[in-house]
Structure 1
Amino acid sequence: MDDTERLAAYDAFAADARAELARTDERMSELRAAGKVKTATYRQLFAARLTLKEIDRRLVEHGL
């Protein structure tokens, strides 16, 4: 894999992570609106969102 392919792979990873973060935020908003913030699903999404936000922060930090 050359540098161009590696950069494309990193860009694809960044886009996927950000899309997943947006879907997670949307699903959490739906659950919050339904008053289901104490459910296991909401808590799992909360943990996933923390991880995705950290990934996004690191990608931004590295210019991706």
Structure 2
Amino acid sequence: MNGQTRKDLSAGVTVDIVLKADQKTGKLTSGVVKDILTKSPTHPHGIKVRLTDGQVGRVKAIHGK
């Protein structure tokens, strides 16, 4: 799953995100979803989430629970 569809995500799922500061390099950060911030059902650049450690970024890959 590529992280562009909101229904594929829920709190507690492990994901790879790109932080705003890492958008140019594409460096991925792994973590567990705490909140889903994007309200629309899909987003072409990935659904924006907040991880349990407070970092915010767009989902690039979903690993599951």
Bin of the TM-score, shorter chain as denominator length? under 0.3
Instruction: Tell me the TM-score normalized by structure 2.
Output: 0.22
Q: Which has the higher strand share?
A: 2
Instruction: Tell me the TM-score normalized by structure 1.
Output: 0.23
